[in-house]
Amino acid sequence: MVALAEAVNVGTAPGAAVDIVDIDHGFALHGDYLPVLEDVSFRVEPGEFVALLGPSGCGKSTLLRLIAGLDTPRAGRLIVDGADVTGPDPSRVVVFQDPTLYPWRTVWRNASLGLETRGLLKQQRERVDAALALVGLEKFAKAYPHQLSGGMAQRASLARALVNDPSLLILDEPLGKLDSLTRLAMQGEITRLWQRRGFTVLMVTHDVEEALLLANRVIVFSDRPARVRADLAVDLPYPRHRDHPELLRLRREALSLLGMAADW
Amino acid sequence: MTAIAEAAPGRAGALLAGDDERPHSLGLLVVAGFLWLGLGVVILAWPDAQELERTSLLGSLALGFGMLQLLAWAGGWFSRPVARLGRFAPWLVVLALVMTAWEVATAKLDLLPLPFFPSPQAFLEVYTDDWRRLGDSLLHSVLLLARGFAIGAAVGFVIGVALGWSKRVGYWIHPVMRLVGPLPATAWLPLAFFIFPSSGSASTFLIALATAFPLIVLTWSGVAGVQTAYYDVARTLGANSRFLILKVAIPAALPHVFVGLFMGLGSSFAVLVVAEMLGVKSGLGWYLQWAQGWAAYANMYGALLVMALMCSALITVLFRVRDRLLSWQKGLVQW
């Protein structure tokens, strides 16, 4: 608990508080209404690392898109730092499963995107260099995306997000397509970045172990339409060890909530 | 043909072995040089069977060209850039043989019927005696093409982007384009010459039309095909729609745009020649028509060569521009 408190307080930019209140959302599909999120409510404290866990296709990513402001919910309220979400904002940045770097821009120019859209690039070029250094890509500033490995590309997209000094970092299965070794390394890096910068993190994943290794809290969703099944607190110091008995216990609990108890 | 086929593995071998390896064809350059010298001797020493004026000039050119090749071979032993000229040797050998056969069959033995098969001398005479008119035609063609292509490219690009971006623009422009677009621009020719005040402006319009249609379709599909994830990324980073169009949609669609430009340039050549043959009183198309009227086949071949060089040069320029703008793409086709 002490370690956790320290971790949260080290950062410079204060993390955002997120209130998700009675969110309902769905899509029209072939003329029918397909409910995706039903009655979803929870609160994320400033500086928390919350993992959203659920079966694939259950609507976790949809929730992230709503919080990012890319889509508008059918019902309910999304409040970030006391203000309703009405559209995208650079203080809430998303890192998608695919790095989605622009292939026509170098790594540096990709990372600088958020400053460019706001007309800040000319005065604050050093912020781009700093963000690339933070993810260890300073030597690849002039490389094009097709010259990067999968892990490096995802790191570049992380730098593109961090340049904006976000108060809320939204991670949509950011490590889902990486090989297992790169994945382990990136998990460590994300935890370190979060501890250093103090932003709030919301991360969608369907990897139970990843959720428990990284997050303070793991919110488990049911199958579609997604509802909150459980809200598990992970009170363990970082860096965490995947063989810790408490972690194994939480893992069993999370898996049984996802309906996988018998197989494990 | 065999010479070309042999050159390919030689070059690949040189590439694999690194820069130190001298191109295998350097020795062949001696052969090519002597073949061209031999052609010069044939032209000068063998009396013409046809009545021709530029025999001595052509002979001197062949001799000079042969000497140059021998010099390049000698220089290749001292300078690596000169040694690279060796890769042209197989082509030079074949060209020397073809030229010799052509010269012997026409000027020396008069085997082929005139005026359909002029000799190399007659071909050369077109450039020495009629270069002023040819140059003037070339200039007019290039200017007309440049004007029409620039207008067509600009308009086509803007319409294509608008179609890809806005549903409302699509509602109005799409049906018009579907009806009018596939019509060959040359079908408008009689009407255009009637409506426009001058044949020049009519041709400009037709060339612009021919350029615009493929560009519209390709730009449109390029913009419409941009991944929505690209827009999502920019939007979460605070981009407005101006930024989305100029900095996301257009760069992402640019590879398609260039395909459209290549197609547009190709069809603009066709319209240019037809327009010049039928209405415009200048340009290479007009020169072709004029030469045919006088049964001056050598002039026609001469003009065709100039036209081929012009079209090839313009395509090359477009490739250079593309290579510069799309240097981020991997696996670009080399021209």
Residue A199's CATH number:
3.40.50.300
Is A190 found in the same domain as A87? yes
Q: Which pLDDT score, from 0 to 100, does residue B1 have?
A: 37
Rounded Cα gap, residues A3 and B273, in angstroms: 80
Q: Which pLDDT score, from 0 to 100, does residue B262 have?
A: 94
Which residues of A are less than 8 Å from B238 in CB distance? 88-90, 114, 117-118
- Quick check: B4 pLDDT over 50? no
Is A172 found in the same domain as A159? no
| Probe site for chain B from A104, A106, A170, A202 (most B CB atoms < 10 A) | A104
Query: Of A164, A194, A216, at which residue does a domain stop?
Result: A164
Number of independent structural domains in chain B: 2
What average pLDDT does range B63-84 have in this prediction? 90
Does the residue B335 lie in any domain?
Answer: no
Q: Mean pLDDT for chain B?
A: 87
Is A234 found in the same domain as A192? yes
Is A64 found in the same domain as A140? no
Query: Of B83, B112, B141, at which residue does a domain stop?
Result: B112
Q: Which pLDDT score, from 0 to 100, does residue B277 have?
A: 87
Spans of chain A below 70 pLDDT: 1-13, 261-264
Is B215 found in the same domain as B279? yes
C-alpha dist (Å) from residue B160 to A53, B214, B215, B247, B271: 43, 10, 7, 16, 21
Q: Domain of A80?
A: 2-91+167-263
Confidence band for B3, pLDDT divided at 50, 70 and 90: very low
Give per-residue pLDDT as tens, B291-302. Answer: 888 888 889 998
Does the residue A158 lie in any domain?
Answer: yes
Is A68 found in the same domain as A52? yes
Residue A103: closest CA among A144, A53, A156, A49: A144
Identify any residues that bridge with A200 across adjacent strands, giving them in sequence order: A168
Q: Edge to edge, what strands does the sheet with A217-221 contain?
A: A92-95, A168-172, A200-205, A49-53, A217-221, A228-233
Is B165 found in the same domain as B18? no
B238, B243, B251: residue with CB nearest A104: B251
Answer whether B255 touches A (CB < 8 Å): no
Query: Of B63, B81, B112, at which residue does a domain stop?
Result: B112
Does the residue B332 lie in any domain?
Answer: no
Do the chains contact at A100 and B252, CB–CB below 8 Å?
no
Residues of A with CB under 8 A from a CB of B: 65, 68-70, 88-90, 92-94, 96, 98, 100, 102-105, 113-114, 116-118, 144, 146, 160, 164
Does the residue A234 lie in any domain?
Answer: yes
Is B203 found in the same domain as B140? yes
Q: Which residue of A has its CA nearest to B330?
A: A146
What average pLDDT does range B144-150 have in this prediction? 94
Does the residue B71 lie in any domain?
Answer: yes
What average pLDDT does range B177-185 have in this prediction? 88
Is A150 found in the same domain as A19? no
Residue B213, classed as helix, strand or coil, is helix
Which residues of A are less than 8 Å from B232 in CB distance? 65, 70, 94, 96, 100
Residue A203: closest CA among A24, A9, A50: A50
Q: Which amino acid is at B201?
A: S
Does the residue A20 lie in any domain?
Answer: yes
What average pLDDT does range B186-204 have in this prediction? 88
Q: Which pLDDT score, from 0 to 100, does residue A6 have?
A: 40
Do the chains contact at B236 and A70, CB–CB below 8 Å?
yes
Is B199 found in the same domain as B318? yes
Does the residue A98 lie in any domain?
Answer: no
Is B211 found in the same domain as B130? yes
Number of independent structural domains in chain A: 2
Do the chains contact at A113 and B237, CB–CB below 8 Å?
yes
The radius of gyration of chain A's CA atoms, rounded to the nearest angstrom, is 18
Is A176 found in the same domain as A154? no
Give per-residue pLDDT as tens, B9-61. Answer: 444 444 444 444 555 678 889 999 999 999 999 999 999 888 888 899 999 99
Is B166 found in the same domain as B71? no
Structure tokens at B218: 């390709």
Does the residue B218 lie in any domain?
Answer: yes
Q: Which amino acid is at A257?
A: L
Q: Which pLDDT score, from 0 to 100, does residue A5 have?
A: 39
Q: What is the CATH number of the domain that holds B235?
A: 1.10.3720.10
Name the minimum distance, in Å, from the CA of B72 to any CA of chain A: 40
Q: Domain of B127?
A: 122-325
Answer whether B324 touches A (CB < 8 Å): no
Is B126 found in the same domain as B108? no
Helix runs in chain A, H state only: 2-9, 60-68, 107-111, 113-117, 125-134, 150-162, 180-197, 208-214, 245-257
Residue % of chain B over a pLDDT of 90: 49
Helix runs in chain B, H state only: 2-17, 28-45, 55-76, 80-83, 89-103, 120-165, 167-180, 189-195, 199-224, 228-236, 241-243, 250-278, 284-293, 297-325
Query: Of A137, A164, A191, at which residue does a domain stop?
Result: A164
Rounded Cα gap, residues A58 and A42, in angstroms: 17
Residue B21, classed as helix, strand or coil, is coil
Is B29 found in the same domain as B160? no
Residue B181, classed as helix, strand or coil, is coil
Query: Of A164, A182, A198, at which residue does a domain stop?
Result: A164
Is B320 found in the same domain as B262? yes
Is B135 found in the same domain as B97? no
Does the residue A96 lie in any domain?
Answer: no
Does the residue B64 lie in any domain?
Answer: yes
Is A78 found in the same domain as A179? yes
Is A213 found in the same domain as A250? yes
Is B231 found in the same domain as B316? yes
Contact partners, residue B15, CB within 8 Å, separation at least 6? none
Does the residue B105 lie in any domain?
Answer: yes
Confidence band for B76, pLDDT divided at 50, 70 and 90: confident
Does the residue B330 lie in any domain?
Answer: no
**Which among A81-95, A166-180, B216-230, B273-287 has the top mean pLDDT?**
B216-230
Which residues of B are less than 8 Å from A88 in CB distance? 235-238
Do the chains contact at A70 and B235, CB–CB below 8 Å?
yes
Query: Of B112, B131, B154, at which residue does a domain stop?
Result: B112
Is A179 found in the same domain as A75? yes
Is A79 found in the same domain as A23? yes
Name the minimum distance, in Å, from the CA of B250 to any CA of chain A: 11
Which residues of B are less than 8 Å from A146 in CB distance? 328, 330
Structure tokens at A107: 């790594």
Is B312 found in the same domain as B189? yes
Is A234 found in the same domain as A177? yes
Q: Which residue of B has its CA nearest to A145?
A: B328
